[in-house]
Amino acid sequence: MITKNRCKKHREDLIAYMDGELSEKQARRVELHLEECPGCSAELAQMKTAMESLSLWDAVEPSADFDRVFQRKLNAVRIDEPETRKWAGLYDLFKTLVTPRFTLAATAVCAAVIVMVSVFTAGIRTDIPQDQLHIATDMELFLDLEIIENSEALENFDVITFLDVLEQETNG
Amino acid sequence: MRDDPHIQLMLAFQEGDEAAFQELFQIFKKPLLNFVFRFCQDRRVAEELTQEVFIRVYRSAASYRPDAKFSTWVYRIATNICLNEMRSGKYQYERSFYGYEGDSSHVTLESTVADKTPNVDDRIEDEESSSTVRKAIAALPDKQRIALLLSVYEQIPYKEIGERLQCSEGAVKSIIHRAKLAVKDILSKELKK
Ligand SMILES: [Zn+2]
């Protein structure tokens, strides 16, 4: 007569037996028990049926718009995800930029900019009278206007008197 | 480890090769979708979660280190996402056993089975068993479910499942053992009905 305890021990091994995980010796012991125990044999049969029915669950295919939806999500990540790839890109850029050749080139560019800025500033200073002349020349337009021509009061203004002097200078 | 072609692709992506990432996406989208789908049994949620896995892969590029097989790493991400979803329910996942809307598995089953066996009764029987299997797996605790799915459907060895679930090979063995017993019990009861 088979005791319940013996069955309990063998039942623990049934799955390992079914999956072929037992040593030859252990497997043989289980088989000997199965030959004389209908309860454990039935248990093994049920287990095999259950595991076989797991295979009935067929694999599914991704839906038709799976890729499209994913690429859309990925684009959103690319836009608001600076901390990983974008920062890695910036770091790479930084690494390529900070080379001796780049430093030399940058210094040269800075020097050129400083020179150009000082020339330009100096140019503005020497050009002051010409600048005024420019404004004064435009004043001619106003003189052509009837209102200004008729306005004696305006002619008395220093600026406009000065305008004649300037005009003579440019023409002369 | 370095001769794993998927690791090579991931490293190429890390160097900025976007096409390598797209290749990984094409290779792993279906197996990952099926793993996630069998876990959560909701087609819409499964697709969302699978896409999230790949977004996670994309974002991890800078910090990626090839210290495990690529598949181990990516399934670990998938497992974490599944378990988190169970806790947070971000996608309003509900464990439902009926009404698989948008689930094309029936279409697949029908078309493939119809070609081989013209017997309508067989097909219905298969679909019923398939639905029973789903119920049985859905009834398992999360960890047992993941371990069983990885073992049965992905044929992943215990050692690797242990790496994914962060537990020992022995622990995986006993988790799967319990899962199989539970599935057998549920299926035996269902089939007696
Ligand atoms: Zn027995």
Structure tokens at B100: 């698989």
Q: Which residue would you say has higher pLDDT here, B89 or B46? A: B46
CB A18 within 8 A of CB A47: yes
Residue A140 placed within a domain: yes
Average pLDDT over residues B162-169: 88
pLDDT on residue B131: 81
pLDDT on residue B17: 96
Tell which of A10, A43, A46, A53 to mutate to test the B interface (max B CBs under 10 Å): A53
CA distance A7 to chain B (A): 15
Nearest to B51 among A57, A60, A70 (CB): A70
Domains of chain B, with CATH numbers?
Answer: 1-95 (1.10.1740.10)
Q: What is the DSSP string of chain B?
A: -TT-HHHHHHHHHHTT-HHHHHHHHHHHHHHHHHHHHHHH--HHHHHHHHHHHHHHHHHTGGG---SS-HHHHHHHHHHHHHHHHHHH-TT-----SS--TT-THHHHHHHHHHHH---HHHHHHHHHHHHHHHHHHHTS-HHHHHHHHHHHTS---HHHHHHHHTS-HHHHHHHHHHHHHHHHHHHHHHHH-
The overall average pLDDT reported for chain B is 82
Residue A49 placed within a domain: yes
Nearest to A53 among B43, B181, B187 (CB): B187
A1-26 burial code (b ≥16 CB/10 A, e <16)? eeeeeeeeebbebbbbbeeeebeeee
Helix (H, G, I), strand (E, B) or coil at A99: coil
Q: Is the pLDDT of residue B124 over 50?
A: yes
Q: Are A76 and A110 in a shared domain? A: yes
Q: Are A37 and A72 in a shared domain? A: no
Q: What is the DSSP string of A114-132?
A: HHHHHHHHHHHHHTHHHHH
Dihedral (Cα; A35, A39, A43, A48), 10-degree rounding: 40
Q: How far is the CA of B59 from the centre of ligand 1 (A)?
A: 54
pLDDT on residue B117: 37
Structure tokens at A52: 């076989």
Residue A61 placed within a domain: no
Q: Are A116 and A147 in a shared domain? A: no
Q: How far is the CA of B140 from the centre of ligand 1 (A)?
A: 26
Q: Are A109 and A139 in a shared domain? A: no
Q: The domain containing residue A118 runs over which residues?
A: 66-122
Residue A80 placed within a domain: yes
Q: Are A9 and A28 in a shared domain? A: yes
CA B127 from chain centre, in angstroms, equals 20
Q: What is the pLDDT of residues B50-99, one digit of tens each?
A: 999 999 999 999 999 998 889 989 999 999 999 888 887 666 555 443 33
Residue A71 placed within a domain: yes
How many beta-carbon contacts under 8 Å exist across A and B? 104
Structure tokens at B99: 């009404």
- pTM beyond cutoff 0.80: no
Residue A101 placed within a domain: yes
CA distance B105 to chain A (A): 5
Report phi then psi at A9, rounded to 5.
-60, -45
The whole-number mean pLDDT for each consecutive block of 10 residues of chain A, a chain of 172 residues, reads 74 89 94 95 92 87 96 90 55 59 69 72 51 47 42 42 46 44
pLDDT on residue B100: 33
Q: What is the pLDDT of residues B144-161, one digit of tens each?
A: 999 999 999 988 899 989
CA-nearest of A143, A171, A146 to A159 is A143
Exposure of B33 by Cβ count < 10 A (0-12 exposed, 13-18 middle, 19+ buried)? buried
Tell which of A56, A73, A80, A95 to mutate to test the B interface (max B CBs under 10 Å): A56
Q: How far is the CA of B181 from the centre of ligand 1 (A)?
A: 16
Q: Compute the C-alpha angle A71/A74/A75, nearest 5°.
A: 90
Residue A150 placed within a domain: yes
What are the residues of chain A with a beta carbon less than 8 Å away from any beta carbon of chain B?
A: 12, 15-16, 46-47, 49-51, 53-54, 56-63, 66-67, 69-70, 73-74, 77, 81, 84-85, 87-89
**Which residues contact residue B144 at a Cβ distance below 8 angstroms, ignoring those fewer than 6 apart?**
B175, B176, B178, B179, B182
Report phi then psi at A157, rounded to 5.
-70, 140
pLDDT on residue B121: 55
Percentage, residues of chain B above pLDDT 90: 57
Residue A24 placed within a domain: yes
Q: Are A40 and A71 in a shared domain? A: no
How many independent structural domains does chain A possess? 3
CA distance B32 to chain A (A): 10
Q: Are A107 and A79 in a shared domain? A: yes
Under an 8 A CB cutoff, do B108 and A60 touch?
yes
Percentage, residues of chain B above pLDDT 70: 77
Exposure of A115 by Cβ count < 10 A (0-12 exposed, 13-18 middle, 19+ buried)? exposed
> Rounded distance, CA A18 to CA A15, Å?
5
Q: Are A113 and A147 in a shared domain? A: no
Dihedral (Cα; A45, A51, A55, A57), 10-degree rounding: 110
Under an 8 A CB cutoff, do B30 and A59 touch?
yes
Residues whose CB is under 5 A from ligand 1 (ion)?
A 7, 37, 39-40
